[in-house]
Amino acid sequence: MPTILLSWIGNTDLRAPQDEAKIGLGPIAQACTSRQFDRVVLLTDYPEDKIAEYRKWLKKRIKCALEVQFQKLAGPTNFSDIYEAERAVAAAVVRDHAQAELVFHLSPGTPAMAAVWIILAKTRYPAELIESSQMYGVRTASVPFDLAADFIPDLLRSSDRKLADASAAPAPEAPEFSDIIHRSRVMQRTITKAKYVAPRSVPVLLEGESGTGKELFARAIHNASPRRQKAFVPVNCGAIPAELVESELFGHEKGAFTGATEPRPGYFENADGGSLFLDEIGELPVAAQVKLLRALQEGEVRRLGGKQAKKVDVRVIAATNRDLLDQVSSGRFRADLFYRLAVAVIKLPPLRDREGDISLLLDRLLDQVNKESATEPGYKDKSLSSGARKLLLRHTWPGNVRELLNTLRRAAIWSQAAEIQADDIKDALLPENAGKQRPILDRTLGDGCNLPDILEEVARHYLDRAIAESGGNKTVAAKLVGLPSYQTFTNWLSKYRIGSGNSRAR
């Protein structure tokens, strides 16, 4: 189990190479020479040229891996920027080393930086807090209290952000979106886009990982549209056998195929005047894509075995957890159909990026679990202990909201008491590798193996990390991934469609 030190670089650290005899090694080097770490991750808002000499000096004195991450701060006491920087770095470390023991160094940097380390250690990322000095050496910092804060960033938002929000044009009123539980800024922006497009009849393409709530969004868009009085017809394209796709979508006449004893309308006819939700549209066979495109272009369908076309007025809301543009490039999805569907594209963020939403979801979903189980013999309404809540808050949730709900259901079963404890959550969480993809180098050839997909997966992973770890500074990010220039890095972001709408990339 690796031990990883996270710390800001302070002014005393930078002075150590020139004045070691007077001030000593500085807090960081003192900790690294008196304690054993497998990796040291240093954050700094100093320019790179001011850090270069210290980094070389420190490398000679430590035996573990050293990593310096440059952060853009509005100021050394800006709590909001400091929180975002420390949280992003801690999250990246935990993502790479799920079982790591974290150590946060409080001595280097400003009091604001130390305060945020304490907040993170007591809420999201349990860690040992250490401090160092010439008089007392390196020792564990005693912080004898716990924090119940679930959404620290709300406390750190600057007042000028509120002024900016107040001056922005309000989104249309749409109570139909009230079932989408959120308070994160990324989700607010996503819902605002959906509110704007809801009254229109243009096609909508929802992109997002499994479990992010694509059908919930689709229903809200339909219910907030002029079509709300007509049918909303959900279709899981991946669940339809290839030989039945045409019949299911467009219907069939009697005798059209063996077993077609009666005429039957398809999903398009059933959704006439309303909305047709095509979930996992990337699973449609190419032959069916051709006919779907024609139906969208002509506004009419012809039943299988039928001679007459029928006009239909259908708004299509499509959804996918795949990258359709990549499928277009590889020939698995028609470009003309993609551009027909991608009039309004809305990307749903994964739960791990919805800062602050998990706490709200915990309360609402646990209430749902309690209502579902109310009629079960001997069931008692459950609540979450502080330890259980913290464990849930720092989980990465690869299965998103769906995984969170099912975890709470399992925990409610395992817990015999009215309060769910941390151990109940540990029993309820799926194994850490359950939601992870197979190792890159161990993919089975054939059986759906796709080299462009694999290369994109690797590229997006490291590009995203570079953006996060550089604080959005593309020049620094380019160096982190070995690219020669800012422009080359920008070209890679464009190639893999990273950064549009990502305020960190600048």
Statement to judge: residues 196 and 305 lie in one domain? yes
Confidence at 365, pLDDT banded by 50, 70, 90: very high
Nearest residue to 400 via CA among 354, 364, 445: 354
Q: Structural domain of residue 357, as residue ranges?
A: 352-428
Backbone angles phi, psi at 43, to 5 degrees: -105, 145
Non-local CB neighbours of 329 within 8 Å, separated by 6+ positions: 452
pLDDT at 378: 84
Give the CA distances from residue 71 to residues 9, 50, 125, 421, 473, in Å, rounded to whole numbers and listed in that order. 11, 14, 20, 37, 8
| 452 in the same domain as 420 | no
Q: Of the residues 128, 154, 180, which one is the last residue of a structural domain?
A: 154
How many Cβ atoms are within 10 Å of 311's Cβ, its own excluded?
Answer: 9
Q: Crossing angle of helices 386-393/400-414, nearest 10°?
A: 150
SS3 454: helix
Q: What is the mean pLDDT of the chain?
A: 85
227: CATH: 3.40.50.300
Check pLDDT > 70 for residue 20. yes
The strand pairing partners of 39, in sequence order, are 4, 65
Please give the pLDDT value at position 447.
52
**What pLDDT, on the 0 to 100 scale, is given for residue 494?**
80
Q: Is pLDDT of 152 > 80? A: no
Q: CA–CA separation, 493 vs 506, rounded Å?
A: 11
Whose CA is closest to 398, among 320, 284, 321? 321
pLDDT band at 466 (very low <50, low <70, confident <90, very high): confident
Decide which of 159 and 422 is more confident: 422
Token readout for 85 is 């920087």
Return the closest-CA partner of residue 404 out of 355, 356, 366.
Answer: 366
Residues 50 and 79 in one domain: yes
* Closest CA relative to residue 86, chosen from 132, 140, 44, 30: 44
Where does the pLDDT of residue 265 fall: very low under 50, low under 70, confident under 90, or very high at 90 and above? very high
| Domain assignment of residue 505, yes or no | no
Q: How far apart are CA 405 and CA 409, in angstroms?
A: 6
> Are residues 181 and 108 part of one domain?
no
More confident residue, 93 or 453: 93
**CA separation (Å) from 204 to 277, 347, 477?**
9, 11, 33
- Residue 158 pLDDT level (bands cut at 50, 70, 90): very low
Nearest to 283 by CA among 248, 251, 242, 249: 242
Dihedral Cα 430, 432, 437, 440, nearest 10 deg = -160
Measured on CA atoms in the order 127, 132, 137, 142, is the torsion positive or negative?
Answer: negative
Residue type at position 185: R
Contacts of residue 148, Cβ cutoff 8 Å, sequence gap at least 6: 386
Percent of the chain past pLDDT 70, that is, above it, reads 88
Q: What percent of the chain has pLDDT over 90?
A: 43
Q: 332-362 pLDDT, tens per residue?
A: 899 999 999 999 999 999 998 887 888 889 9
Which of 466, 469, 470, 468 shows the shortest CA–CA distance to 492?
466
What's the pLDDT at 270? 95
What pLDDT is stored for residue 37 in this prediction? 92
* Domain termination residue (choose one: 384, 401, 428): 428
Note the pLDDT of residue 153: 44
Same domain assignment for residues 189 and 324: yes
- What pLDDT band is residue 124 in, cutting at 50, 70 and 90? confident
- At residue 176, the pLDDT reads 75
Confidence grade of residue 506 (pLDDT, cut at 50, 70, 90) = very low
Model confidence at 469: pLDDT above 80: no
Are 194 and 68 contained in the same domain? no
Q: Point out which residues pair with 70 in neighbouring strands.
A: 44
186 and 222 share one domain: yes
- The answer as to whether 227 is a domain residue is yes
Considering the domain boundaries, does residue 501 fall inside one? no
Residue 438's pLDDT is 53
Q: Per mean pLDDT, which range of 119-123, 129-133, 438-442, 495-499 is the poorest?
A: 438-442
pLDDT of residue 178: 84
Q: Note the helical H segments in 229-320.
A: 245-250, 267-270, 286-298
What is the bridge-based pairing of β-strands 315-320 and 275-279? parallel
**Coil vs helix vs strand at 5:** strand
pLDDT (mean) for 321-330: 86
Please check whether residue 30 lies inside any domain of the structure.
yes
pLDDT of residue 163: 33
Give the model's pLDDT for residue 149. Answer: 42
The reply to whether 79 and 150 lie within a common domain is: yes
Which helix or strand (DSSP H or E) is residue 65 part of? strand 65-70
Over residues 379-400, mean pLDDT: 88
Same domain as 454, residue 386: no
Count of domains observed in the chain: 4
CATH for 480: 1.10.10
The sign of the torsion formed by the CA atoms of 82, 88, 92, 98 equals: positive
> pLDDT band at residue 206, thresholds of 50, 70 and 90?
very high
Find the DSSP H helices in 299-346. Answer: 324-329, 335-341
Could you tell me the CATH number of the domain that includes residue 365?
A: 1.10.8.60
Per-residue pLDDT at 162: 41
The larger pLDDT score, comparing residue 426 to residue 151, is at 426
User: What's the number of CA atoms in the CB half-sphere (13 Å) around residue 358?
Assistant: 27
497 torsion bin: left (phi>0), alpha (psi -120 to 50), beta (else): left
Averaged over 425-441, what is the pLDDT?
69
Whether the predicted pLDDT of 154 surpasses 90 = no
Where among 428, 461, 482 does a domain terminate? 428
Give the CB-side neighbour count of residue 53, counting CA atoms within 13 A. Answer: 8
**Is 46 exposed, middle or buried (CB count within 10 Å of its CB: 0-12, 13-18, 19+)?**
middle
| pLDDT recorded at residue 437 | 52
- Tell me how far apart the alpha carbons of residues 352 and 192 are, in angstroms, rounded to a whole number: 20
Question: What are the two backbone dihedrals, phi and then psi, of residue 388, each rounded to the nearest 5 degrees?
Answer: -65, -40
How confident is the model at residue 500, as a pLDDT? 43
Q: Same domain, yes or no, for 189 and 259? A: yes
Question: Residue 167: what pLDDT?
Answer: 37
